[in-house]
Each structure stands twice: as structure tokens, then as C-alpha cells.
Amino acid sequence: MKTTLTVVMASVFSSAALGQIGINTAVPIASLDIVAKRSDGSTAEGVLPPRLSGDEIKAGDAQYTESHAGTIIYATAGVKVASGKTANITAAGLYYYDGKIWQRMLQGDPRKMNSQSAGDIKNSMHPSDHSGWYLLNGRSVSSLPSSAQTSAAGLGFTVNIPDAADRILKTRNGAELLGSEGGNNKMTITRSNLPDINLIGVVSGTAESAGAHIHTSDEGGFLLGGTNVGNNGSGHYQGNGESSSWGGIGLMSSTANSGSHIHSLSGIATIPTGGIGAAMDNRSAYLVVNTFIYLGE
């Protein structure tokens, strides 16, 4: 231990004049140059950052400001309730602080570092859960792995994750709840959806002509005058059309012939559309994919 400390201190002081610090080297070539103590595999080499649990990191949230951007910590476990600056610390791993929130440093291509965080959404042709991505199919949170349950709870999903089946994604508006569902794929036009105008149809024309005709009575005739004029008081008459009936007043059984004629008509008509009110498909042309949410591995 004393030997190691001596080497480190010697390296630091030997390079202080140059404004560079070297560990296990007297000739640092960068601000901090760490050289492996041995290269034969007999010792563990590398840089070991501070190791804290997610909850321990979260306890120090207030200590990290924008000036701490670039700070690196190894989380030994995810936080129990992911939120705030530690919203992305959902599992053990190496994290860096970007000045606002802790971001996970992923293995592989550096260009893909921090390519996803808890709550990210993607569309894919992949058929099922994979690499920390979970199909948004409305399943219960309790059916997920424990680490994914923690992430889901941190996003506000405590009973079920959302069901994206047959739905498009909509950007939040105002106080809308993230993960809430709405809208319909089918729609039916109602009267209130129609324009506020009057639809008026005027009907005009002529009735069918019946040619020259007369109108007869089924009750025995038409009285041509008052019964109290010239009435003989007997209450009887001699026959239809006879001039001597009812004291010469007379009866007739049919109207006069008015010749060939027609009857005109006009008015406002209600004309049925012939529709049946069937619902319309409210969707544009589409490509079928699966929707996933990232909850960590």
C-alpha cells in the first residue's frame, strides 16, 4: 500500500510543473494519464469510479448541478422509485451526469451511448419483448420482471402498462395524462356534425289528368235548395232529379261536367337520402408495426 501510494505521489509531483498528472508514469501525455502498473495480467488494472446504489445517488440529487456535467458513477442497483434526476437509473450500470439527469452509459458502439432511457417509445417489426423493450399490450405491471416493474412504477404505471394495439401515438396536450388512451377508429356522422344551413326543396308540377269527368253521390243526390221553400210538408219527394221534388226545388245526383282539367300543386317536401348511417373508417392508409416502451434490462 505504501509502495503504491509512493509511486502515485511521485508521479503527481514529478509532473506538476508541466500541468499534467501521471499515474504510474513520469511522463504524462494528457491532463491525467494513467498507465497500467503491470501488463502481465498479474494485477487488476483499470479505473474504478465511485460505486453507489441508485437510492444513494438519488439521496444526493441536490448536490449535482449543471457544473457537474460529465460526472461518472457506477450504480450497484437501480433506484426503488425512479424519478427526477435518477429517473433513468433503473438497473446496475455505469452512469454519467449530463447536467440535468443521470444517463446510462451503454456497452457497444460509443455513438449509441445513451440511445434509450426508461419511458422511450419505438415502433418495430420485432414480434416480442427484447433487450429491455417491452411490447405495449396493456399487460399487468406485476407480470413484468422486477427491474421493469420499478421502471414502470417510476413512469406512473402501477397497474397496467398502456395498450397501443390499433392506436397511433399522440403528443401530450396541456394536462393530459401520459399513457392515457382516447379516440375512435370508426366514426358516425350525427345531425350535429352537419353544416348549420337550411336545406329547402320546392316541389311544383301537376297532378295526373283524368280527362272530362263528373262527380256522383253515393247518398242519392244533392239538394239544390233549402227544404223549407215550397215544401209540401209531407217529408217525401218523388225521385232524384225530378223538378217536382220538394215543392219544385228539385234534387240532382251528379255535378255538372267540368270538362278535361288538371290540378296544380306546390309546397315544401322532405326527401329521404336513402342512407343507413353506417360508421366510416377514420384511419388513413397504414403500415402495421408493434409499439414498445423501454423499461431497462
pLDDT in tens, 135-188: 999 999 999 998 889 889 888 899 999 999 999 998 888 888 888 888 889 988
**Does residue 228 have a pLDDT over 60?**
no
Q: Which of 82, 53, 55 is nearest to 157 (CA)?
A: 82
Query: Which cell is 74 given?
Result: 457506477
Lowest-confidence pick of 17-21, 185-189, 273-277: 17-21
DSSP 112-156: GTT---TT-EEEES--S-BTTEEE-B--BGGGS-HHHHHHHHHTT
Q: Which has more confidence, 232 or 135? A: 135
Compute the distance between CA of residue 84 and CA of residue 158 in angstroms, rounded to an integer: 18
Residue 31's pLDDT is what?
A: 87
> Stretch 2-9: mean pLDDT, rounded?
47
Residue 122's pLDDT is what?
A: 93
Instruction: For the chain, give the percent of residues with pLDDT over 70.
Output: 69
- The answer on 142 and 101 residing in a single domain is no
> Stretch 74-103: mean pLDDT, rounded?
87
**Does residue 33 have a pLDDT over 80?**
yes
Residue 80's pLDDT is what?
A: 83
| Final residue in a domain of this structure, among 66, 88, 108 | 108
Compute the distance between CA of residue 89 and CA of residue 28 in angstroms, rounded to an integer: 35
Please check whether residue 207 lies inside any domain of the structure.
no
Please check whether residue 135 lies inside any domain of the structure.
yes
Contacts of residues 158-164 at CB distance under 8 Å and 24 or more positions apart, as own/partner, are: 161/134, 161/136, 161/137, 161/293, 162/136, 162/138, 162/293, 163/136, 163/137, 163/138, 164/136, 164/137, 164/291
- The answer on 146 and 98 residing in a single domain is no
Tell me how many helices (H) and strands (E) the chain has: 3, 15
Please check whether residue 94 lies inside any domain of the structure.
yes
Lowest-confidence pick of 7-21, 53-67, 209-223: 7-21
**Does residue 258 have a pLDDT over 80?**
no
The winner for highest mean pLDDT among 80-89, 119-128, 228-237, 267-276 is 119-128
Residue 245, φ and ψ in degrees, nearest 5: -70, 145
95-149 confidence digits (pLDDT tens): 999 888 898 886 554 444 446 788 899 999 999 999 889 999 999 999 999 888 9
- The answer on 81 and 103 residing in a single domain is yes
Instruction: Put residue 188 in one of left, alpha, beta given phi > 0 → left and psi -120 to 50 → alpha.
Output: beta
Please check whether residue 246 lies inside any domain of the structure.
no
| Final residue in a domain of this structure, among 59, 85, 108 | 108
Domain with 142, as residue range(s), is 120-170+289-294
Residue 4's pLDDT is what?
A: 47
pTM summary value: 0.45
Please check whether residue 257 lies inside any domain of the structure.
no
Query: What's the domain count of the chain?
Result: 2
Residue 106 burial (CB count, 10 A): 15
Instruction: For the chain, give the percent of residues with pLDDT over 90.
Output: 25
Please check whether residue 101 lies inside any domain of the structure.
yes
3-state secondary structure of 47: coil
**Does residue 222 have a pLDDT over 60?**
no
- The answer on 142 and 97 residing in a single domain is no
- The answer on 86 and 128 residing in a single domain is no
Compute the distance between CA of residue 290 and CA of residue 280 in angstroms, rounded to an integer: 25
Please check whether residue 240 lies inside any domain of the structure.
no
- Burial string for 128-148 (b: 16+ CB within 10 Å, else e) reads ebeebbbbbbeeebeebeebb
Compute the distance between CA of residue 115 and CA of residue 270 in angstroms, rounded to an integer: 64
- The answer on 60 and 82 residing in a single domain is yes
Residue 218's pLDDT is what?
A: 59
| Final residue in a domain of this structure, among 60, 77, 108 | 108
Please check whether residue 66 lies inside any domain of the structure.
yes
- The answer on 131 and 84 residing in a single domain is no
